[in-house]
Structure 1
Amino acid sequence: KLDAVIKIITDSVFVKNWQVPESFEGKETIFTIGDLTFTQKDLAKGIEKIQQNQTPEYIPTYVNNIYRKIADEKVLNFADMKLETKHHDLKVTIDEFRDGILIFSITDKFVWNKSINDSVGLSNFFDKNRNNYMWKDRADATVFNFYKDIDLKKAKKVIQKGIKKKKTNEEIIEMLAKKFKIKEKTIEYFDFKWGKYERGENKIVDMTNWILGISEPIQIEKRNHIVIVHQQLTPTNKTLSEAKGIVTSDYQEYLEAEWIKYLRANYTFSVNHNVLNSITN
């Protein structure tokens, strides 16, 4: 029964350029599963649909392989359908799974994915709600961390000298290395971390009470630190990049609320309160 299909296949199928001849009737049945009848014409159309660029091969072998692939797929689909028919609980579970996948896909399209890729919409949302994203009081500070026993009084004097000369933090590290004659692997001896901190974000900075200038050495968990509080910052608006995570989350909630509002306005819906109450109680 496959011979009729084999005869109409040409090498063009291996360059994804073959079409079922209009004159091909292919009415003979190849196999039947339940109410499904699969004909020679169905096989030919299947080959036309799934053909792809590939190395040419013996056409009868090619057709037979495609036939087996399609037949296996049809049998599995039929078995799944019958399984759901015979087992009601399984059908309910599968339907719920399919509905869940559908809801996820739609929500991803209109809410989650949009909130990430719609940069213009996100920016407009941020502009309209800018005052919701504010920095609290902050300290602009640099923390110098010391990992080995060195003379902290000398270290503080070096840092003070660097401040007076308006040296960068990196340059102050070089000054410390020179002072203590450390020629390599300075990171094993000391490093620094600069940042702008709200209260509670950095306990070392908080121990200075945010007093401007250089602190006395501070010891926490057997490690020494010296802090420079450069300035105290008053509350100010965050930029979009600074608030990107929370803004994106809020934008998702906004899109979801708008989407639900649209659905309620355009579609009829009903709630089975008995089922709802059985879930919530």
Structure 2
Amino acid sequence: MKNFLSVIILAFLSATTVFSQNKKEVLMTIDGKPVYANEFKRVYLKNLDLVQDESQKDIDGYLQLFIDYKLKIAEAETQGLDKESTYKSEYSKYRDQLSRNYLFEDKVTEELAKEAYERGKEDINASHILIRVDYESVPQDTLAAYNKIKSIRDRAVKGEDFAQLAKTYSEEPGAKETGGNLGYFTVFNMVYPFENAAYNTKVGEISKIVRTTFGYHILKVNDRRSKMPKIAVSHIMISDKKGARTFNPEERINELYTMLKQGESFESLAKQFSDDKNSAVKGGKLNAFTKGDLRAPEFENAAYELKNIGDISKPVKTDFGWHIIRLDEKLPEESFEQQKESLEKRVTEGDRSKIVTNAINNKIKEKYGFKKGESFLPYFDTYVTDDVLKRKWIMNPIPNDMEKTLFTIGDKKLGYTDFAKFIAGRQKTTRPYKQKEALLVDLYDEFETENLKDYFKEHLEDENEDYAAILTEYRDGLLIFDVMNKNIWQKAKNDSIGLQEYYNKTKQDYQWKQRVEAIIYSATSEMLAQQIQKMLAEGKTAEEIKTALNTDDKVNVLITPGLFEVDQRELPEGLEIKEGVSKVYPNNDSFEVVNIKAILAPGEKSLDEVKGKVLSNYQNDIEAKWMQELHSKYKVEVDKKALKHLKKELK
């Protein structure tokens, strides 16, 4: 959609910087609000290659694009879209995500990523026994659970059958059936303490006792295997979801498979018949993948069963349709540097993040200065009632004489009242707790971490120009999307009467080219194509020709009936448009004969046939009128002197 692409481009066009703006040259004002030359220069240099219209690539042309963008931002703010809860939520999420790139620039993240990379080279098959106990359990329950798992471990170490012990004692659901076997797993599949135990235990040995949020575990490692390498394959796909097909998809894929066995070119058949248009133009070639990357396990399994380069699978059924797969390449293992970015992202988002968080908290404390104040627990254990466990605690004001400072970060103090407000708001979304003290301890850790990070983020915008610019890009991009969605896209989508009227005024722009109702016969040889010509001249039907020329073991002809525009890719290039049986045309590695039943003259397409295109054009029409209104609504004044300076600098 043209409008959406414009938003994506323009989302990169804001890059507003907030540093020392009073010292910058004002390029223009919108209703008196300044827009600085430095901002325009930044986005012009950064995004010039994204602008497709040549007339907008010079300074004056680009300035008009930039002004339109700024007017949309102004209108979004006028309509209060920056106050909407959905906008605030999205912006906050992105701010948190972006700041992580600066918060987690610490070697502890890289070390954990390197550990994950090394572990990721192996899959582990393990069994485990679980005795449930959570972190809130009373000490006697925790001790009882520990003693129980210790007793089981002692028996396992002495040689008792691990699977039988799991069936008898493990409190994991399904353990009686599985004997505790977890199958193969790899890095990031399990909680981090469990993963540590698995990777630090040798094959055949019993792990030490490990504590997780689920309880106490012991593991027995059954096997280790090297992780599957990435592979590259090509495929031919026949969709079974393409509406009313004029042929049977399963029958078609089997015909193509037979033709491949006969020696027909995989690339040629993919280009000519595959329904995966993106790969068809490349002869069926797909991007490299490993197991788990695709949303089609049947496809992955069939691909990995191919042993030698060039091997071809039998037809495989997936949720997308029917496939024939050819193994093209087995790729070497990726280096740590190649995977570093994605590994570090997973480290900072998973349960390893606790390790990173502690390290980062210490880093922030050292950077800005941190001073611990009064302990929270003695006061809050009495002040907060047990209603908090039901998420119904109501905060009462803390008396002035009882107010204490919990900690100070930089020039910011956080006290009892701040923590009380945090508890009141956070209680509704906590996990269930049994013990109030455990809840208060966890909430305090969250409270301290949140305020440390907030302090860091607040000062990061002042300290880091790139961060501030990227953050503003995203903010403006969200507002542009929202204002366009409200005023253009949804308006056009919901205005069926207006859409019909627009189509009536512009239907001359939506025309069918000349079309033919035809049956295309694709033969494996020129001689067979000539035989098809002869059979058609004798009045044979498509089914009779198919029966005569194809056998169970050999497919010599594929038949595709339909209604085709004269330049459609299914028709052979240079086809002479006249009723009757055509001459033989070579097409890739096949030979085609077309039996044209009827020729349809060019004509108008109905609204239903071109609704998507008409809707897009209608949106463009609404947007053009809307932009005229914005230019009238807001006063834009360009400083000619500043513009002249800018042109000179950019040249």
TM-score after normalising by structure 1? 0.74
Task: Tell me if the contact between 2:489 and 2:619 (Cα under 8 Å) persists in the aligned partners.
Answer: yes
**1:195 aligns to 2:563 (yes or no):** yes
Counterpart amino acid of residue 446 in structure 2: K
For residue 224 of structure 1, report the CA deviation from its aligned partner.
0.9
Between the aligned residues of both structures, percent identity stands at 18
| Alignment CA distance shift 1:24-1:80 (3 Å) | closer
- Residue type of the alignment partner of 2:422: G
Are the aligned partners of 1:204 and 1:218 in contact in 2 as well (CA < 8 Å)? no
Change (3 A) 1:233 1:13: farther
Match of 1:132 in 2: 509
Structure 1 residues 46 and 148, CA gap change in structure 2 (3 angstroms): farther
Structure 1 unaligned spans of 5+? none
Give yes or no for the alignment of 1:177 onto 2:551. Answer: no
- Are the structure 2 counterparts of residues 243 and 73 from structure 1 closer, same or farther at C-alpha, using a change threshold of 3 Å? same
Are residues 1:7 and 2:375 paired?
no
Q: 1:280 to 1:132 in 2, by over 3 A?
A: farther
Bigger CA radius of gyration = 1
Paired residues for 1:1-281 under 5 Å? 1-3=375-377, 4-15=379-390, 17-22=391-396, 24-25=398-399, 27-51=403-427, 52=429, 54-85=431-462, 87=463, 90-91=464-465, 93-111=466-484, 115=489, 119-121=493-495, 124-125=498-499, 127-128=501-502, 129-147=506-524, 151-159=528-536, 172=542, 174-180=543-549, 182-183=551-552, 186=555, 189-192=557-560, 194-198=562-566, 200-202=567-569, 204-205=571-572, 207-271=574-638, 274=642, 277=647
Q: Is the 8 A contact 2:572 2:586 kept in 1?
A: no
Q: Is the 8 A contact 1:28 1:40 kept in 2?
A: yes
Inter-partner Cα distance in structure 1 for 2:589 and 2:456: 69
Residues 192-223 of structure 1, C-alpha deviations (whole Å, 9 max, x = no match) = 2533214x434845533211122122223441
Helix, strand or coil: the match of 2:393? coil
- The 3 A distance-change label for structure 1 pair 190 and 277 is same
The amino acid of 2:595's aligned partner reads I
| Deviation >6 Å, runs of 4+ | none
Distance, in Å, in 2 between the alignment partners of 1:277 and 1:122 is 46
Structure 1 residues 260 and 144 mapped into 2: Cα distance closer, same or farther (>3 Å)?
A: same
Structure 2 portions without partners, runs of 5+: 1-374
**8 A Cα contact 1:214 1:229, kept in partner:** yes
Which stretch shows the higher mean deviation, 271-280 or 205-214?
271-280
CA distance in 2, matches of 1:23, 1:84: 34
Relative to structure 2, which stretch is displaced further, 208-217 or 270-279?
Answer: 270-279
**Shift of residue 260 of structure 1?**
3.1
Alpha-carbon separation, structure 2, partners of 1:265 and 1:14: 57
* In structure 1, distance between residues paired with 2:423 and 2:539: 77
The CA distance in 2 between the partners of 1:228 and 1:11, in whole Å, is 83
- Of 134-143 and 58-67, deviating more is 134-143
